[in-house]
Structure 1
């Protein structure tokens, strides 16, 4: 593998419409605000990645932060561990959560993509694994019972073995109606998970979890505020059903706090919030030590490679917000995402679509 030297970093903002919009108990996302990253090297290899900004308001600041990072590392070797240490030292007084952490993680993902391309290997192979198919679940919005049934039937027809529905309706009766309609449509063999998107108080979450224990769910996700680890520990103690946290862990410190509190029975790692590929590998080791099965949040292209080298890998979330701007989005076959035997992470831009959805 040839040594790579950073030449420049290009960051472009796009606003990708979602059809249908992503509806949760905490709000509606009608379009995906993304910042696309191209890490260009002196050797002509370009590493690609993207970050999901959640709100269009922060697309500009994140893109500008990425460009400033590019200026900081210009001329440096593409060595993700070294670059991570360099940037953490540079941003120590500011901190590496929030927008800075998102930008750093996107940069890290692009760096690993460049290394894999230079080596002529899929990212999974560069990380010591083999090209394979990763079990996946279909991830849906917050729906009424009849809509949830239709979505479950469609997921079943497509070969998914698991489905997640978002709940958090005003009353538990509505939540139960959605879950039971999903079960009736999906059949007895499909695993069903539910996601409250942080919408309940701790006492309400405990009360609902006890009722949901009779529904045969695979997990209950983020029933209360994500950073309330003590509250989640109380909910986990009250419920027989597994509690799932992780998508809002900002790096290893949050993950360590959640584990110490006994806040979650499972781990759902978000490659952006955990610190990119470099952060994921550390988090996977931490999860293994704690005996927590690991699932992914968003980023199905990159996450498939990472789950394939993660001990205790559980399920990949199939919710591909970037698909409209990708040349080859992740594809599900027989309830699994098949990692392509091609160099890199699989992220490459459909430039016509990028131009169509450009936001800056």
Structure 2
């Protein structure tokens, strides 16, 4: 038995690397919640999750007061069992963001430990489909940027060999969105993928109107046009447009994804390992999507998601939003427009603990 003898959590406030705005919010800071588990053989695993500005101390309280005490004495090798036990102990607060984010910090720590003890990188132990995956850029597409800045960013990504870019939509007027998207399409031509993201800002009627206007531009997907809990709205929109509908970053359980897939309301699944409760449920979502012949293109957390996308056969894209460089040694490798999965044992993130300690707030 690989007994857990200690489990601790702490919170770090990480500055945002660049200004990021969309149709409903700004990225204020990355509240990063860390969990470290230690086993009776002296091994350790480090896991993490995040928020973009609020709620971090609530996640930390859930961990310290409810979840971490249950870990002591548990068998770290039984990752599924531990995850289910923690989930079952929090029925009163599931399914919800705070609980899922807390579960994710524990689960990624256990996977880090599992991979380290096995001497294998995450992408191999979680499935091992391919060592690198295509990359698309979001950093050049924020809503506050001018049309000229969007075009410059897309051209830079294209010159770097990246196969896709994502642009935020949801300007007050439809013609503003169309003008911006058209300028980028004209600049990069038909050979580059362009995705758009509305961040849940639209009504169904407005989303249908904008999708109709966007269709001639050959978009690769229309992301979160409606509130994430509006399954029926996404289902109707998906049936009424040729643009693939992408959802997932604001969903917190495997069952929510199952409902979307069963109703044909999602053509791209963007499951976020932190928000869905960790690597364990992330893989379940990915395999469920595979059964529906749907690609997985996860939200954010590129440093972790590169390994998960590489692990599964329906992993299509990794989203390029670098955010951990201030607290890690090195950064994600990029080769010929592809993100390369780390080959070191563990989850593949080389933490700079001195820099992390400098930013601890709780």
Please indicate the TM-score interval, normalised by the length of the shorter structure. over 0.9
Segments of 5+ residues of structure 2 without an aligned counterpart are none
Segments of 5+ residues of structure 1 without an aligned counterpart are none
2:59 aligned to which of 62, 70, 85: 62
Q: Deviations over 1:140-160 (max 9, x none)?
A: 322221111121122123221
Structure 1 length-normalised TM: 0.94
Quick check: 1:220–1:242 contact (8 Å CA) kept in 2?
yes
Q: Distance in 2 between matches of 1:319 and 1:281?
A: 21
Q: Deviations over 1:253-302 (max 9, x none)?
A: 11122123321112111112222111012112211121211111112122
Quick check: 1:193–1:219 contact (8 Å CA) kept in 2?
yes
Q: Deviations over 1:109-137 (max 9, x none)?
A: 11001110111110122224166111111
Please state whether the residue corresponding to 2:92 is helix, strand or coil.
Answer: coil
Q: Report the structure, 1 or 2, having the larger strand content.
A: 1
Q: How far apart are residue 54 of structure 1 and its match?
A: 2.5
Q: Distance in 2 between matches of 1:320 and 1:76?
A: 34
Q: Deviations over 1:214-261 (max 9, x none)?
A: 001101101111110111112112211111111122111111221233
Relative to structure 2, which stretch is displaced further, 258-267 or 227-236? Answer: 258-267
Q: Distance in 1 between matches of 2:130 and 2:264?
A: 34
Please state whether the residue corresponding to 2:27 is helix, strand or coil.
Answer: strand
Q: Distance in 1 between matches of 2:36 and 2:180?
A: 42
Quick check: 2:132–2:341 contact (8 Å CA) kept in 1?
yes
Equivalent residue runs for 1:114-263 within 5 Å: 114-129=113-128, 132-140=131-139, 141-142=142-143, 143-263=145-265
Relative to structure 2, which stretch is displaced further, 180-189 or 256-265? Answer: 180-189
1:283 aligned to which of 261, 282, 285: 285
Residue 360 of structure 2: aligned partner: 358
Q: How far apart are residue 29 of structure 1 and its match?
A: 1.0
Q: How far apart are residue 318 of structure 1 and its match?
A: 1.4
- Number of residue pairs the alignment of both structures matches: 357
Residue 42 of structure 2: aligned partner: 44
Quick check: 2:297–2:315 contact (8 Å CA) kept in 1?
yes
Structure 2 length-normalised TM: 0.93
Q: Distance in 1 between matches of 2:84 and 2:28?
A: 36
Residue 77 of structure 1: aligned partner: 75
Quick check: 1:247–1:268 contact (8 Å CA) kept in 2?
yes
Residue 292 of structure 1: aligned partner: 294
Residue 30 of structure 1: aligned partner: 28
Q: Distance in 1 between matches of 2:183 and 2:358?
A: 38
Q: CA RMSD in A?
A: 1.7
Residue 8 of structure 1: aligned partner: 6
Please state whether the residue corresponding to 1:270 is helix, strand or coil.
Answer: coil
2:303 aligned to which of 301, 304, 317: 301
Quick check: 1:26–1:197 contact (8 Å CA) kept in 2?
yes
Residue 100 of structure 2: aligned partner: 101
Residue 346 of structure 1: aligned partner: 348
Quick check: 1:249–1:274 contact (8 Å CA) kept in 2?
yes
Runs of 4+ that moved beyond 6 A: none
Q: Distance in 1 between matches of 2:321 and 2:210?
A: 26
Relative to structure 2, which stretch is displaced further, 335-344 or 58-67? Answer: 58-67
Q: Distance in 2 between matches of 1:283 and 1:60?
A: 27
Relative to structure 2, which stretch is displaced further, 71-80 or 194-203? Answer: 71-80
Quick check: 2:129–2:313 contact (8 Å CA) kept in 1?
no
Q: How far apart are residue 33 of structure 1 and its match?
A: 1.7
